Chains A and B, each alone.
Chain A
Amino acid sequence: MTSPASPYPEGSAAFPHRSLLGIAGLAPHEILFLLDEAEQWVELNRQPQKRADRLAGLSIINAFFENSTRTLLSFELAGKRLGADVVNMAVAQSSVKKGETLIDTALTLNAMHADAIVIRHASSGAVRLIADKVDCPVLNAGDGQHEHPTQALLDALTIRHAFDVKRGQGFSGLRVTICGDILHSRVARSNILCLTSLGAEVRVCAPPALMPEAIEQMGVTPHHDFDAALNGADVVMMLRLQQERMQGQFIPSPREYRRLYGLTPERLAKAGAGAIVMHPGPMNRGVEIDSNVADLSGRSLITRQVEMGVAIRMACLDVLTRGARGVPGWENAR
């Protein structure tokens, strides 16, 4: 619940969206609202007794059409800690035929009266397609190369904590370098939208083959030279490079990639003093990030990101189900 001194609009006007399909379309204050809402769950999750019953009696379906371990687990924990009944539907991509099946699955889920559906799918736009067919809130847990909004939110929450940014405040003046496979990364897209929306200066770094066209139109500065991209950065966000993309198709070899884009201790020294290191996981240790950087106490916040992930997902599930739960001021948010 928002405090009386809340800087946000009253009730559902603070977050007037039925679903969370992406960071695109969210106003800066709506992003900050979700971050603020997550703070209470960060606290709760650090207690031995982690149970809130806010979502008791609600059913949440995690429909993952693409393999995932951590995101699925994170959403499952988030739902369970809020007291909801959570069921996971893992549909291996290979067994889902193209054609009507995706829509049919959506209609099936809808017929089961879920109160929220969390979806991951390998195709950009697929989550929105399903959201248009169901009556409950839908949370995008990653759609193709498009968006992964909860990852961007948990990254923002991690950054907020690391730099002691006050509630309600943006990231003005903060320099963030995102390095890796920008082209294929939904994490990069959502983070670019979120961080630039909150006022950070964002640089993206990748070889030409992994840099999307016209990325500067998203308000970031593209770099091919990692050292230049790192110069003075406060946050270094590394992206995972898929194994199959570093065997000659996009990158000649893992060791050549490491030479140019691996985050080594020497490279990290080129970033700003006290720069933090982030990675959405799972990491290719020794390729995009060296172990002694990934495990660098105080600088590497990779496990902190995982922690924040549960809190962010709790906040999103709570906020998006307020209409259905009849929370005062949110009755119309359905």
Chain B
Amino acid sequence: MSVAPPTVIANGRLALPEGAPRPGAVRCAGGCIVALGDVTREAGDIVIDAKGAVIAPGLVDFGVFAIDKPAFHFGGITRAALMPDQNPVLDGPSSVRFAAQSGKPDFWVHPLAAATRGLDGAELAEIALMRDAGARAVATGRGWIADSGVMLRLLRYAAMLDMVVVSHAEDGGLTRNAVATAGEMATRLGLPSAPAEAEALAVARDIALAEMAGARLHIRQVTTGAGLALVRAAKARGVAVTAGITPAHFMLSDLAIGDFRTFTRLSPPLRAEADRKAVLEALADGTIDVIASGHDPRGPEDKRLPFADAEPGMAGAETLLPLTLGLIRDEVIDWPRAVALLAGNPARLLGVEAGMLAVGAQADLAIIDPDRPWIVDSDRMAASAGNTPFDRQPVQGRATALFKGGAAIRAKEDLRP
């Protein structure tokens, strides 16, 4: 990979860790940020005019199911943590090493090592070897580990290796074949459902075990008020637990499944309106640390099916940024917090030097026009499939340019009007 020539992005507004974006410039050289704010241009610098747009760190998308570069680049994402639920499963060093190389140079993939062989929840996978092959954290995958003994051993082992354990918190005994949250909507539609409390049960157990093991636990999606209350309380007593969410769970409630539209079939399923409000509260008060896309593009073979037969998941990379910026407009969060949720915190979980504007950090940068309006259109996505529950929704905010390691990437924004 050739090193990008020294570049100055001028006339922007810098999304710094504190305060509203303020006028300034960034100078990158050798793949890193070398100056911020009032920068001095040097002879031979390439100069890019940000035209007053926001200069932010490239987004770090924690927990995606596919490497779908056009979608990530469209969404201003420069790095993603890849879930181990791949074919083959990321449960050994060779598959991890392959995945870690799969996006370079213009997109960095940070594989999450499968916690157990084949993600079957029974036998520990070779986590240390996978770490050496490039795995940045350990994940239980789409499912939870039902056996508490296995989970405890996993957490202890990961703690020894100083790796975060990423868990999916839904009690499998309750969820089994459920595709919706128990409630009026699931009842009217006649869909197999599980009580929302399945999440709190799993969150409570995983926190208790993590506390015992002294491990760092990241619950990839906490979607209910009860689950979030447990995370909030655990954080207050100093447990090393963090929580994530995807925009679907702060934008939509289970009313959205009303017409059996499989693009709203998600895991965990969409919740009641009260839980959606609890998620917004947790975003505001800091209980939630990460907003991720959960990007999982699915074609008609997985989605054009009866609701309960369809696979869960949404193509979320393109809508991650605008829907999060919507939280700023709605005054749920401010700019520094949005950047922390989308970039800083996930980078910290992965232990990578990225995700914030700082001298010496990797020059992964997104130029964002936060007000630019556009309409989500499932037929015209950059993603490899258009399974978005936000089809036809007007949104605001777009990454107009993207830099990885100081090198400009052509975002495929011209694919759409």
Contacts and interface: CB of A to CB of B under 8 A. Distances in A.
A24 B115 CA distance: 45
A134 B354 CA distance: 51
B308 A213 contact: no
A212 B308 contact: no
A286 B179 CA distance: 34
Given A102-B305, A123-B306, A213-B195, A218 B189 contact: no
Interface stretch (B4-12, B98-106, B180-188, B401-409): B180-188
A145 B178 CA distance: 13
B187 A100 contact: no
Given A100-B301, A189-B188, A218-B188, 11 more contacts: A24-B188, A123-B308, A124-B306, A124-B307, A125-B306, A128-B260, A145-B191, A146-B189, A212-B187, A213-B193, A215-B187
Given A123-B309, A213-B183, A144 B304 contact: no
Contacts of A128: 259-260
Interface in B282-306: 300-301, 304-306
A147 B193 CA distance: 16
A99 B309 CA distance: 9
A127 B309 CA distance: 13
Kindly state the interface size class of chain A when it binds its partner.
20 to 34
Interface of A: 24, 98-100, 102-103, 121, 123-126, 128-129, 143-147, 186, 189, 212-215, 217-218
11 contacts: A103-B300, A103-B304, A121-B306, A123-B309, A124-B306, A125-B260, A129-B260, A145-B190, A146-B191, A213-B183, A214-B182
B183 A214 contact: yes
A214 B192 CA distance: 14
Interface string B5-42: 00000000000000000000000000000000000000
Given A100-B300, A125-B260, A186 B190 contact: yes
A129 B305 contact: yes
Interface in B78-117: none
Contacts of B191: 124-125, 144-146
Interface string B140-168: 00000000000000000000000000000
B260 A124 contact: yes
B187 A217 contact: yes
B230 to A, nearest CB: 22
A214 B306 contact: no
A128 B300 CA distance: 16
B187 to A, nearest CB: 4
A189 B259 CA distance: 16
Given A99-B301, A213-B195, A189 B306 contact: no
Kindly state the interface size class of chain B when it binds its partner.
20 to 34
A224 to B, nearest CB: 17
Interface of B: 182-184, 186-193, 195, 259-260, 300-301, 304-309
B304 to A, nearest CB: 6
Contacts of B308: 123-125, 144
Contacts of B187: 189, 212-215, 217-218
A100 B306 CA distance: 11
A6 B192 CA distance: 42
Contacts of A218: 184, 187-188
B305 A147 contact: no
B184 A214 contact: yes
B306 A217 contact: no
Task: Give the 3 A-B residue pairs with the shortest CB-CB distance, closest first.
Answer: A125-B260, A123-B306, A145-B190
Given A100-B300, A213-B195, A214-B183, A189 B190 contact: yes
B256 to A, nearest CB: 14
Nearest to A103: B304
Given A100-B300, A129-B260, A147 B190 contact: yes
A213 B306 contact: no
Contacts of B189: 124-125, 146
A146 B187 CA distance: 8
A102 B306 contact: yes
Nearest to A133: B304
Given A102-B306, A213-B183, A214-B183, A124 B190 contact: yes
A99 B307 CA distance: 12
A66 to B, nearest CB: 12
Given A99-B301, A213-B183, A126 B188 contact: no
B372 to A, nearest CB: 34
A144 B188 CA distance: 12
B167 to A, nearest CB: 26
Given A24-B188, A145-B191, A218-B188, A213 B182 contact: yes
A143 B188 CA distance: 12
A147 B304 CA distance: 20
Contacts of B193: 213
Residue from B300, B304, B306 with most neighbouring chain A CB atoms (10 Å) = B306
A189 B186 CA distance: 12
Given A146-B189, A189-B190, A213-B195, A123 B183 contact: no
A246 B170 CA distance: 27
Contact of B186 (A24, A100, A102, A213): A213
Contacts of B309: 98, 123, 126
A73 B339 CA distance: 63
A24 B300 CA distance: 27
B151 to A, nearest CB: 27
B260 A99 contact: no
Contacts of A146: 189-191
A178 to B, nearest CB: 14
Contacts of A100: 300-301, 304
Contacts of A103: 300, 304
Nearest to A125: B260
Contacts of A214: 182-184, 187
A124 B304 CA distance: 14
Contacts of B182: 212-214
Contacts of A215: 187
A106 to B, nearest CB: 10
Contacts of B307: 123-125
A251 B29 CA distance: 70
B184 A217 contact: yes
A144 B306 contact: yes
B188 A98 contact: no
B249 to A, nearest CB: 19
Contacts of B259: 128
Contacts of B192: 145
A236 B260 CA distance: 32
